[in-house]
Every structure is written in C-alpha cells, then in structure tokens.
Chains A and B, each alone.
Chain A
Amino acid sequence: EPEVTQTPSHQVTQMGQEVILRCVPISNHLYFYWYRQILGQKVEFLVSFYNNEISEKSEIFDDQFSVERPDGSNFTLKIRSTKLEDSAMYFCASRRGTTSTDTQYFGPGTRLTVL
C-alpha cells in the first residue's frame, strides 16, 4: 500500500541554523500538509499546499517557514533560523483531493531537536 515517507527521522540542529525536512507524499495525491506536535501537546496545522502554492497557513507559519515542491515528488518544509521552541515532531500528510470523503495520510514524522 502506498505511504507517505519522511526524512530524516530525527534531526538535531543548533539554534539559528536552517533545516529542511523532507517528505514524499503518495504519488497521485494533490493536497499536501505539514503539521507539528510539540511534546505532550496537540497536533497543530502549519500549512497546506495545492497546485504549487500555499493554500492556507496558520499563525505558527511565519516568515521563518517555507514550503516547496521542487520536483513533483518531494515536499519540503524549511525553517530558516531555528529557535528552541521549534523543537517538535513534524508530520507531513497528503490527500488525493478528488472527492470530499478522501482521507489524509500521514508520514511517520521527523523529530526536530533544536539545541
């Protein structure tokens, strides 16, 4: 069964450094999402992406964040200058989008640790 994959599984970085989290959504899916989960807290929506542009972003998704689908298969989340509070689990998700009942499929997540 097709699945969403994410790399790396764990990323450790120093505060102020740039990180890129990578996702490969399911191949025939059209809608892509990033969510994050700070340890012990709820899963929060960051951004949705459709037709090669951001369709919605949350208040969390400030100028330090960007997303890109550079080659038609990968979907990346970049954090330009990481802060301690960016430490979280980041989940990518994709949805086919052809019907209103379709399901969002999640990747296994990338644990980001900012030191």
Chain B
Amino acid sequence: AQTVTQSQPEMSVQEAETVTLSCTYDTSESDYYLFWYKQPPSRQMILVIRQEAYKQQNATENRFSVNFQKAAKSFSLKISDSQLGDAAMYFCAYRSNRKGSSNTGKLIFGQGTTLQVKP
C-alpha cells in the first residue's frame, strides 16, 4: 500500500522569503501523480501543483515549485516570495496512474503541514 509522510507539522516563514515543505512517499508503482493541496482556514482544499512521475522536469506554477526526487521518493514544495495569503495547511498527496478499472483515482494524503507567514 502507498503511504505519504509529511514530517513537519508546522513551519513558519517571513513574508517575501522562501520556504520549503517536505514530503516523502512510499510506493512500488512507477507511474503515479503527486500533488500539493492548500487548505486555507476556510477549509476548502485547492490544488497548488501537480507532478507526473514519468516527467523528470520539476513542475512550477508561478511562485510554487517542486523538487521531485523519484529515486529517493521525495517531493518537496518550495514557495518563493511568500505572501500572507499563503498561510494555510498544505497537504501532499499521491495518486496511482496504474491502468485498469481497479484504479479509482483516490488520493492518499500526508498528515499536512501548517504554514504560518509572518509579516
């Protein structure tokens, strides 16, 4: 079974600085997706960024980028130029891309990291 681990329950960053959130995962599959979701205090989870395992290039979305190390099963999120609106809980998630009807597309989440942004 796949597992996702986020070992940092809380992180803080000064506004305009850079912060990196860690995520490791365990799987025997070679084809999968990894996601970072943001859950602001309003509690609706929003997709931040997605990485496809067969792509070596790290995904980027504006100020958000990932460091995907497939061999090490590591998937960290870097937030550059942190803004007050980035304060939220961040979840790392895994989704299998194996073929067939047994793949329902469910997400497997880590424990989450609460990010505080200080003005």
Q: Enumerate chain A interface residues (CB-CB to B < 8 A).
A: 31, 33, 35, 41-45, 48, 50, 55-56, 89, 91, 93, 95, 97, 100-101, 103-109
Is B44 a contact partner of A50 (Cβ separation < 8 A)?
no
A56 contact from B46, B95, B97, B106, Cβ within 8 A: B106
Chain B at the A interface: mostly helix, strand, loop or mixed? loop
Chain B interface residue count, Cβ-Cβ cutoff 8 angstroms: 24
Are A104 and B107 also in contact (CB < 8 A) when A91-B45, A109-B43 are? yes
Residues from chain B with Cβ under 8 Å of A33 in the complex: 105-107
Residues from chain B with Cβ under 8 Å of A109 in the complex: 43-44
Q: Which of B97, B101, B104, B107 has the most CB of A within 10 A?
A: B104
Give the distance to chain B from A104, nearest Cβ to Cβ, in Å: 6
Beyond A31-B105, A106-B46, list 12 extra A-B contacts (CB 8 Å): A42-B112, A43-B107, A43-B109, A44-B109, A48-B104, A56-B102, A91-B45, A101-B50, A103-B50, A106-B44, A108-B43, A108-B44
B31 nearest CB neighbor, chain A only: A100
- Chain B 63-106 interface 0/1 with A at a Cβ cutoff of 8 Å (1 = within): 00000000000000000000000000001000101000110111
